[in-house]
Structure 1
Amino acid sequence: MGFSRYPLGLALRVGGVAGAAALLGLLLVTTEFYATAFIVAVLLAAALAELTRHANAIGRDLTQVTEAIAAGELMPVLPRRLGPLGARLGRAIDKLGERNAARETAIARLNAEVEHAPVPLLSLAEDGRITLLNRAARRFFDGVDLARLDQAEALSHDFAAALAAPPGRRMVQVPLPGGVARVLVATSQTIAGGRAQAIASLLSIEGELAQSELRAWSDLVRVLAHEMMNSLTPVASLAGTAEALVAELRETLPDAEPPALDELAEAMAAIARRSAGLMRFVDGYRRFAEPPEPVRRTVPLTEAFGRVRALMQASPAGAGVAFEVAVEPPGLSVEADPDLIDQALINLVKNAFEAVAGCPAPRVTLAAALDGRGRVAVTVEDNGPGLPPGAAEQIFVPFFTTKPAGSGIGLSLVRQIMVAHGGSVEPVPRGPSTTCGTSTTCGMGATFRLTF
Structure 2
Amino acid sequence: MVYKSFRLNFIFRIVALSAAIFLLAFVLSKNNYYTTASLIFLVIIYQIYEMIKYVEKTNRLLKNFLESIRYSDFTRNFKVQGLGSSFDKLQESFNAVISDFQKIRAEKEEHYFYLQTVIQHIGISLIAFHRDGSVEMINNASKKLFQVSNLTKIQDLESFSPEFVEALLKLKHGENTLIKVNDNDDILQLAIYATEFKINDRQVILVSIKNIQYELEEQEIESWQKLIRVLTHEIMNSITPISSLSNTLTTILDDFGMSNVSKFDEKDQETITEVKMALATIQKRSSGLLHFVDTYRNLTKIPNPNFSIFPVKQLFDNIHMLMKEEMKNRNIECSISIDPESIELSADELLIEQVLINLIKNSIHALEHTENPKISLRAYLNKRGRISIQLTDNGQGIIKEVLDKVFIPFFTTKPKGSGIGLALSKQIVRLHGGTITAHSIPDEKTTFTLTF
TM-score over 0.5 for the alignment? yes
Query: Does residue 238 in structure 1 map to residue 234 in structure 2?
Result: no
Partner of 1:19: 15
Tell me the SS of whatever aligns to 1:390. Answer: helix
Aligned partner of 1:51 in structure 2 is 51
Give the counterpart of 2:104 among 99, 111, 123.
99
5 Å-filtered alignment, 1:322-361, equals: 322-361=333-372
Matches of 1:124 and 1:32, distance apart in 2: 78
Distance 2:149 2:47 in 1: 75
Distance change in 2, residues 1:181/1:159 (3 Å): farther
Q: Deviation per CA, 1:96-147, whole angstroms, max 9, x where unpaired?
A: 3333333323322322222222111112224321356122211211279964
| 1:31-74 alpha-carbon deviations (Å, 9 max, x no partner) | 99667998775544332111233345665566566656766653
Contact 2:24/2:41 (<8 A) preserved = no
Cα distance in 2 between the residues matched to 1:92 and 1:210: 59
SS at match of 2:320: helix
Report if the CA contact (8 A) 1:156-1:174 is conserved. Answer: no
How far apart, CA to CA, are the structure 2 residues paired with 1:389 and 1:355? 16
- Provide closer, same or farther for how the CA distance between residues 25 and 43 of structure 1 changes in structure 2, counting only shifts above 3 A: closer
Amino acid paired to 2:368: A
SS of the residue 2:143 aligns to: helix
Q: By how many angstroms is 1:297 displaced?
A: 4.0
Output the CA distance in 1 between the equivalents of 2:252 and 2:403.
51
Q: Identify the range of structure 1 (338-347 vs 363-372) with the bigger mean alpha-carbon deviation.
A: 338-347
Which residue of structure 2 aligns with residue 436 of structure 1?
Answer: none
Change (3 A) 1:313 1:31: closer
Give per-residue Cα distances to partners, 1:226-273, cap 9 Å, x unaligned.
121122212222332344345435633445658777666555444433
Residue 450 of structure 1 pairs with residue 432 of structure 2: no
Cα distance between partner residues in 1 of 2:113 and 2:236: 63
Which letter does structure 2 place at the counterpart of 1:329? P
Separation in 1 of the partners of 2:356 and 2:17?
A: 105
In 1, Cα distance between equivalents of 2:378 and 2:324: 16
Cα distance in structure 2, aligned partners of 1:427 and 1:40: 104
Matched with 1:174 is 181
Q: 1:114–1:352: structure 2 CA closer, same or farther, 3 Å change rule?
A: same
Distance apart, 1:332 and its partner CA: 2.9
Task: Give unmatched runs, 5+ long, in structure 2.
Answer: none
Residue 203 of structure 2 is aligned with which of 192, 196, 201?
A: 196
2:426 maps to 1:409: no
Contact 1:141 1:176 (C-alpha < 8 Å) held by counterparts: no
- Tell me how far 1:18 sits from its aligned partner: 2.4
Aligned to 1:427: 438
Partner Cα separation in structure 1 for residue 3 and residue 280 of structure 2 = 120
Q: What is the identity, as a one-letter code, of the residue corresponding to 1:46? A: Y
Question: In the alignment, which of 388, 392, 417 is matched to residue 399 of structure 2?
Answer: 388
Q: Contact 2:27–2:37 at 8 Å: present in 1 too?
A: no
> 1:282: how far off?
0.6
Q: Is the Cα contact below 8 Å between 2:398 and 2:440 reproduced in 1?
A: no
Between the aligned partners of 1:297 and 1:191, the Cα distance in structure 2 is: 52
The TM-score normalised by the length of structure 1 is 0.81
Q: 2:383 aligns with which of 372, 378, 382?
A: 372
Q: Which amino acid aligns with 1:210?
A: E
For 1:339 and 1:17, how far apart are their aligned partners in 2?
101
**Inter-CA distance 191–296: structure 2 relative to 1 (3 Å threshold):** farther
Change over 3 Å in CA distance of 1:144–1:315 after alignment to 2: farther
| Pair 1:6–1:239, CA change in 2 (3 A) | farther
Match of 2:320 among 302, 309, 320: 309
| Cα pair distance change 1:269/1:315, threshold 3 Å | farther
Assess, with a 3 A threshold, how the Cα gap between structure 1 residues 274 and 391 changes in structure 2: closer, same or farther. Answer: same
Inter-CA distance 181–405: structure 2 relative to 1 (3 Å threshold): same
Q: Distance in 2 between matches of 1:6 and 1:427?
A: 92
- Which residues of 2 match residues 146-295 of structure 1 at below 5 A? 147-151=152-156, 155-157=161-163, 160-168=166-174, 169-192=176-199, 194-248=201-255, 251-255=258-262, 268-295=279-306
Counterpart in the other structure of 2:411:
400
- Return the alpha-carbon distance in structure 1 between the equivalents of residues 330 and 280 of structure 2: 37
1:379 and 1:447 in contact (8 A); partners too: yes
Per the TM alignment, residue 172 of structure 1 is displaced from its structure 2 partner at its CA by 2.2
Q: Secondary structure at the match of 2:355?
A: helix
Secondary structure in 2 matching 1:428: strand
Q: Which moved more, 1:47-56 or 1:295-304?
A: 295-304
Report Cα offsets for 1:168-204 as digits up to 9, x if no partner. Answer: 2222223433444211111112444641211111112
Paired-residue identity, %: 28
Letter in 2 for 1:115: Q
Instruction: Please identify, of 108-117 and 385-394, the stretch whose mean Cα deviation from structure 2 is larger.
Output: 108-117
Identify which range, 11-20 or 38-47, moves more after superposition.
38-47
93-102 vs 371-380, which deviates more? Answer: 93-102
Bigger CA drift: 410-419 or 78-87? Answer: 78-87
C-alpha distance in structure 1 between counterparts of 2:68 and 2:427, whole Å = 65
SS of corresponding position for 1:450: strand
1:159, 1:173 within 8 Å by CA — same for their partners in 2?
no
C-alpha distance in 1 between matches for 2:329 and 2:118 = 51
Task: State the distance in 1 between where 2:327 and 2:335 align.
Answer: 17
User: Could you say which residue in structure 2 is the equivalent of 1:141?
Assistant: 146
Q: Following TM superposition, by how much is the alpha carbon of 1:22 offset from its aligned partner in structure 2, in angstroms? A: 4.5
- Distance of 1:202 and 1:282 partners within structure 2: 41
Q: Aligned equivalents of 1:159 and 1:287: distance in 2? A: 42
Q: Output the CA distance in 2 between the equivalents of 1:370 and 1:335.
A: 14
Aligned residues: 436
Partner SS for 1:109:
helix
Give the Cα separation in 2 of the matches to 1:53 and 1:132. Answer: 50
Q: CA deviation at 1:401?
A: 0.9
Unaligned residue ranges in structure 1 (runs of 5+): 433-442
Q: Which amino acid aligns with 1:19?
A: V
Question: What are the superposed Cα offsets for residues 347-405 of structure 1, whole Å, 9 maximum, x if unpaired?
Answer: 22221222122222222222222222222222221111111241112112211111111
* 2:327/2:333 contact within 8 Å kept: no
